[in-house]
Structure 1
Amino acid sequence: MTEEWQKLVLGVLRKSGAATEDTTPAQAVELLTTTGYDGVPLKPLYTAADSDTLPRVMGRTANGWDIRQRHADPDPRATAEAARADLENGATSLWLVVGADGVPVDGLAAALDGVHLDLAGVTLDAGADAAAAAEAFLAAGGSSGNLGFDPLAGAGDLQTAAAFARQAADRAALRAMVVDATRYHDAGGSDAEELACSLATGVAYLRALTDAGLSVDEALAQVEFRYAATADQFATIAKLRAARLLWARVARACGADRATQAQHAVTSAAMMAGRDPWVNMLRTTLACFAAGVGGADAVTVLPFDHRLGLPDGFARRIARNTHSLLIDESSVARVADPAGGSWYVERRTADLARAAWAWFTEIEGAGGMAAALSSGLVAERLRATWDARAANLAHRRDPLTGVSEFPFLDEKLPRRRPAPQRDMHYYSEAFERLRDRADALSRRPTVYLATLGPPAAHTARVGFATNLFAAGGVAVTAGPVEGFASSGLSTACLCGSDRSYAEEASGAALTLASGGARQVWLAGKPGEYDGVTGYLYNGCDAVGVLEEVLS
């Protein structure tokens, strides 16, 4: 059956020109195999031969996940009102940003006014104010959730965190430590890099907690892991499954009686766009689905207007209802491990776990996570991955709907109260800088699309060029070559068919130049055309093109 499929694939590839008569069926499959940022191959077809012997570590039981809503409003009263609304309408726990970027520490009790702390868990995110926030939370009667100590991320120090962990160990529903791996994701890191950094950080915390007198089992129970969930649903599913597998391996090596990993999945902030933000609803729905299928214990859906500032009531409601729709209407949580048994997912989980373990052992060999952070080893690795990702985004190999693809030039963004933004990478950042640059001009920059031949010959490339230019905030107007001189514009782009280019492109480009065009682009593959200064085509450096056009 597999051989028959390979032969059919080979036939299609030969017809398309992607394969030759000498290409074998096995080579045809290799032509369709891609490689992600971790070097893990992604094949077009998986069979029983791809099954792996690594053990499966189950996630939460099939009874739904904790719907954890994030709040960062510095106004304690507004936070209390929003938190109560969330808890009354589907949310089951809170994630509170406290300190300089959120609720003041002395306002924490007021922010929790009306919240039944015996029913709703609260996870604190206080950065350098972690100790003061933990004290305030416990004084307010907090007894479940997480105190939010993450010393290697600047949230408290290890000694103080260990002291609070000893207190929390006496309360069954309270943890003290968070390994926030989203910071590595937000720096541009890959899935395996996020996993490896979380593993190395978790091991560092285990050492600190056991040195402070906690048993291995008590120390394991005090640590929760936070991962980013993206719109790449299978990548997220595999990442969460691999995370449990890896942490179980660490726990067994420590001689622990239990090997579960508490997981908090957050829809990726890096994938959120500031332009056409309503598309973020689709991204977060996919990410929430993947987090649920991947077995996360708690999931946070960031509101669609996250990039614009503090969310309004509508945005928070949509975020809450995303969970409810998936849990109650789509029954995503009725099965404990829906992806289990899929040859593709099992293989991807195993490959990702191996890639992460290799990077983890390199970090440990460098002296552990603290040493790897201070030496720049981690930053250098993440920077290299971001550079590769940024190149794919710029060339639109990693497309962003509403940003690099199908942008809406005339959109009116909703206004939100400002909120502190984390120092991080956003996938849309290069295109959004171009949009901001174009919007700051006194009038909309415009390119003249000089059409060749009848509409049937140029319509497709007119659409392609229009879409690409709009990604940088550049409008277009179309007309015949002869109309450019009276347009008052300085940039033109030829749009036609390959045949019309061969016959007319050079002459048309010279006509445009004589009419005042400082730049003459051509929508199509590069060729030998006199007077053409640049080309637009699938896979071109769109960011580079747009920067040159705007200049």
Structure 2
Amino acid sequence: MTPSTDAGSLSLADGFEPRSSEDWQRLVATVLDKRRTDGGHTAPDDAEAALVTALDGGVETRGLYLRTDRVLGVPAAMPFTRGRALRDASVPWDVRQLHDDPDAARSRAAVLDDLEHGVTSVWVHVGEDGVAPADLAEVLADVRLDLAPVVVSSWSDPAGAARALLAAVGERPSVGGNLGLDPFAAALRTGTAPDLTDLAPLVRELASRPGWRAVTLDARVLHDAGATEVDALAAAVASGVALLRHLEAEGVAPVEAFGHVELRLPATADQFLTAATLRAVRRVWARVGEAMGVPEADRGLRTHAVTSLRMATRDDPFVNVLRSTLAVFGASMGGADAVTVLPHDTVSGLPERFSRRLARNTQVVLADEANIGRVADPGGGSWYLESLTDDVATAVWSRFQEVERAGGVPAAIDDGLFARWVEQARAEREPGVATRERPLTGVSTFPDATATALERRARAGLTLRDGALVPHRDAEPFEALRDRARTLDSPAVTLRALGSPRDSGARRLFAVNLLAAGGLTTTDDPAPVAVIASNRAGYAAHGAAAVAELRAAGASHVLVAGRAGELGDAAGAVDGELYDGMDVVAVLSDLLDRLGAPAQAGEAR
């Protein structure tokens, strides 16, 4: 009800007949029936089921959410779904930039440049694939530690990175930071055994340093390798529980150890799922704290959202800016305490000054100009977001219990449980990428076949052992195809459109985009591979002549672009069809074979 000017009230529903969910189902069925070609009718229940979308991790979204009675709660209180603390509208979240350039002078200048232009905390990756521990003091030399927190991470030498950070800080006044310890994540990333030797001593060393924490549970390891958000969060929560148990055995009480934990998790272009995962994992972690006897005021989980590496693309990299913008929006909506945007060129190598500027300004513009951080938990009370949060929390808790039944994280690592989660998730997701059911803008859909990869300085490598969880980006199969196409003198396919542009224009565009996903261009000139764009009528009238002409011109492989099976027996004269829903990666790989492009090592076939 909205107050009116005459002190009465205005009912926005006046004049509308009340509607039920059955009414809505019938309306949906009517729309779906318009697409049917068999003259049948869709049942109301089937109509609603048709709008269900399956997300990774066994989570689903529906087409309609109805009011449900629930206690929404408030930020800074159990179950902490709505936020760890009340949000400060003037500083909605910590803008944290990542630095991993091993050139200490470059990193030092980059850190200072970021802090002078909107970044509020510094994240330095240390080790073989980042800054050397001995160089960390130089990298942080210009940082006002009393103003900007510093966190470190390391896969190859976590304890060395932590001690290097403490040595660099020394006795200077500091607002705090995080030593970035997660022995289990480091073990999974490198294929080594978890080393918890230095955990308790370093936690005790921080007792006299207010604002400092020791542990960063890194859910990105599983997610970057291909696991679902649910799997990644469950593994991180299970790792946190295992570390708390270890610390308790070493004499550090859970109530003390609990405050040392921060969670680093991926933020994807699915902004609502990103928000739901942040809300859900705080709820799950608060439940862990409750079970361990941690006072309610101390159960709030600090979260650090990082734009997902898995969604980043090498080709057409500026689309990564759009993906990151959605991810930051979702992270803000979910109440992340800190956010990092990976630069749009991060896949190509070490980012440059412009790309770091664009990364930090993505956050600054959203916070200061779009004002998306001025409201705490803006999605709270949305029947959709609340239901999605419930589903994610339930799924995470179920996976967490699976780890516990396996004997905890150390036993799960030894048994290969997490590796099986990754394999299962990739097996379920990759077919959708290959068929473009999961489109990758600029890569598998609307690609620019003539675009070249950015040239950046390469990152240092990381020594890995058998069983290491290596990052795999969704775009990699298409990038491998485009690399093969670049080995050809003329990566072109003959394209013939039959009939008028009205009849074949859409199919011609479809074929051009599909071929460009593999780095292939189209030409009117003769080529070993040819594609005919036509509808059924056009092919029936001109198809045989077109095929004969293309064969005579030297095309040994002729395809027709249309709808699957549309041409029926008429397509018998050609070697195959191009249509929506096909395995594009396999088809393009076959075409590159026919054009003489050598297969790349490790290419998905």
- Band of TM-score, shorter chain: over 0.9
Selected match of 2:254 from 216, 223, 228 = 216
Q: Aligned residue for 2:7? A: none
1:492 and 2:530 correspond: yes
Q: Aligned residue for 2:350? A: 310
The amino acid that maps onto 1:57 is T
Q: Aligned residue for 1:273? A: 313
User: TM-score normalized by structure 2?
Assistant: 0.86
Greater displacement, 125-134 / 491-500: 125-134
Greater displacement, 157-166 / 272-281: 157-166
The answer to whether the Cα contact below 8 Å between 2:315 and 2:452 also exists between their aligned partners in 1 is no
The answer to whether the Cα contact below 8 Å between 1:62 and 1:335 also exists between their aligned partners in 2 is yes
* SS in structure 2 of the partner of residue 128 of structure 1: coil
Q: Aligned residue for 2:448? A: 408
The amino acid that maps onto 1:114 is D
Deviations 1:193-244 (A, max 9, x none): 1111111111111111111111211111111111000011111011111110
The answer to whether the Cα contact below 8 Å between 2:80 and 2:286 also exists between their aligned partners in 1 is no
Q: Aligned residue for 1:386? A: 426
Distance in 2 (alpha carbons) for counterparts of 1:361 and 1:52: 25
Cα distance, 1:360–1:493 mapped onto 2, change above 3 Å:
same
The answer to whether the Cα contact below 8 Å between 1:50 and 1:347 also exists between their aligned partners in 2 is no
* SS in structure 2 of the partner of residue 334 of structure 1: coil
CA shift at 1:126, angstroms? 2.2
The answer to whether the Cα contact below 8 Å between 2:533 and 2:560 also exists between their aligned partners in 1 is yes
CA shift at 1:439, angstroms? 0.8
Distance in 2 (alpha carbons) for counterparts of 1:407 and 1:152: 39
Q: Aligned residue for 1:3? A: 22
Cα distance, 1:148–1:245 mapped onto 2, change above 3 Å:
same
* SS in structure 1 of the partner of residue 504 of structure 2: helix
Selected match of 1:534 from 571, 576, 588 = 576
Greater displacement, 41-50 / 306-315: 41-50
CA shift at 1:24, angstroms? 2.2
Deviations 1:392-420 (A, max 9, x none): 10000110111001111222443221114
The amino acid that maps onto 1:505 is G
Distance in 1 (alpha carbons) for counterparts of 2:439 and 2:238: 32
The amino acid that maps onto 1:350 is D
Distance in 1 (alpha carbons) for counterparts of 2:533 and 2:71: 51
The amino acid that maps onto 2:107 is T
The answer to whether the Cα contact below 8 Å between 1:402 and 1:408 also exists between their aligned partners in 2 is yes
1:225 and 2:263 correspond: yes
Cα distance, 1:134–1:38 mapped onto 2, change above 3 Å:
closer
Correspondence list, 1:47-446, <5 A: 47-49=66-68, 57-59=81-83, 60-63=85-88, 64-141=92-169, 143=174, 144-154=176-186, 157-257=195-295, 258-420=298-460, 423-441=470-488, 443-446=489-492
Cα distance, 1:51–1:397 mapped onto 2, change above 3 Å:
farther
Cα distance, 1:21–1:491 mapped onto 2, change above 3 Å:
closer
The answer to whether the Cα contact below 8 Å between 1:506 and 1:532 also exists between their aligned partners in 2 is no
Q: Where does the alignment leave 5 or more consecutive residues of structure 2 unmatched?
A: 1-18, 74-78, 188-193, 463-469, 594-605
Distance in 2 (alpha carbons) for counterparts of 1:81 and 1:428: 32
1:453 and 2:493 correspond: no
Q: Aligned residue for 1:481? A: none
The amino acid that maps onto 1:146 is N
* SS in structure 2 of the partner of residue 235 of structure 1: helix
Greater displacement, 414-423 / 185-194: 414-423
Deviations 1:77-121 (A, max 9, x none): 111111011111110111101121111111111111111122211
User: How many pairs are equivalent?
Assistant: 542
Q: Aligned residue for 2:11? A: none
CA shift at 1:21, angstroms? 4.3
Cα distance, 1:521–1:169 mapped onto 2, change above 3 Å:
farther
The amino acid that maps onto 1:362 is E
* SS in structure 2 of the partner of residue 326 of structure 1: helix
Cα distance, 1:335–1:462 mapped onto 2, change above 3 Å:
same
Q: Aligned residue for 1:545? A: 587
Cα distance, 1:532–1:240 mapped onto 2, change above 3 Å:
same
The answer to whether the Cα contact below 8 Å between 1:450 and 1:495 also exists between their aligned partners in 2 is yes
CA shift at 1:510, angstroms? 4.5
The answer to whether the Cα contact below 8 Å between 1:216 and 1:256 also exists between their aligned partners in 2 is yes
Distance in 1 (alpha carbons) for counterparts of 2:245 and 2:494: 64
The amino acid that maps onto 1:12 is V
Distance in 1 (alpha carbons) for counterparts of 2:156 and 2:460: 15
* SS in structure 2 of the partner of residue 311 of structure 1: coil
Greater displacement, 324-333 / 47-56: 47-56
CA shift at 1:57, angstroms? 2.2
The answer to whether the Cα contact below 8 Å between 2:493 and 2:531 also exists between their aligned partners in 1 is yes
Distance in 2 (alpha carbons) for counterparts of 1:495 and 1:52: 57
Deviations 1:480-505 (A, max 9, x none): xxxxxxx3311111111122234443
* SS in structure 1 of the partner of residue 205 of structure 2: helix
CA shift at 1:514, angstroms? 4.3
Q: Aligned residue for 1:483? A: none
Q: Where does the alignment leave 5 or more consecutive residues of structure 1 unmatched?
A: 479-486
The answer to whether the Cα contact below 8 Å between 1:94 and 1:120 also exists between their aligned partners in 2 is yes
The answer to whether the Cα contact below 8 Å between 1:51 and 1:346 also exists between their aligned partners in 2 is no
* SS in structure 2 of the partner of residue 530 of structure 1: helix
Selected match of 2:523 from 477, 480, 496 = 477
Q: Aligned residue for 1:484? A: none
Deviations 1:445-491 (A, max 9, x none): 1111122112221111110000000000001024xxxxxxxx33111
Q: Aligned residue for 2:558? A: 520
The amino acid that maps onto 1:43 is R
The answer to whether the Cα contact below 8 Å between 1:510 and 1:530 also exists between their aligned partners in 2 is no
Q: Aligned residue for 1:14? A: 33
The answer to whether the Cα contact below 8 Å between 2:526 and 2:553 also exists between their aligned partners in 1 is no
The amino acid that maps onto 1:436 is D
Correspondence list, 1:501-512, <5 A: 501-506=539-544, 508-512=546-550
CA shift at 1:51, angstroms? 5.9
Distance in 1 (alpha carbons) for counterparts of 2:361 and 2:423: 36
The amino acid that maps onto 2:354 is F
The answer to whether the Cα contact below 8 Å between 2:274 and 2:327 also exists between their aligned partners in 1 is yes
Distance in 2 (alpha carbons) for counterparts of 1:62 and 1:501: 62
CA shift at 1:435, angstroms? 0.4
Deviations 1:116-170 (A, max 9, x none): 1222111111223222222222122265211111111237721211210111233
The answer to whether the Cα contact below 8 Å between 1:169 and 1:218 also exists between their aligned partners in 2 is no
Greater displacement, 154-163 / 357-366: 154-163
The answer to whether the Cα contact below 8 Å between 1:65 and 1:299 also exists between their aligned partners in 2 is yes
User: TM-score normalized by structure 1?
Assistant: 0.95
The answer to whether the Cα contact below 8 Å between 2:277 and 2:392 also exists between their aligned partners in 1 is yes
The amino acid that maps onto 2:484 is R
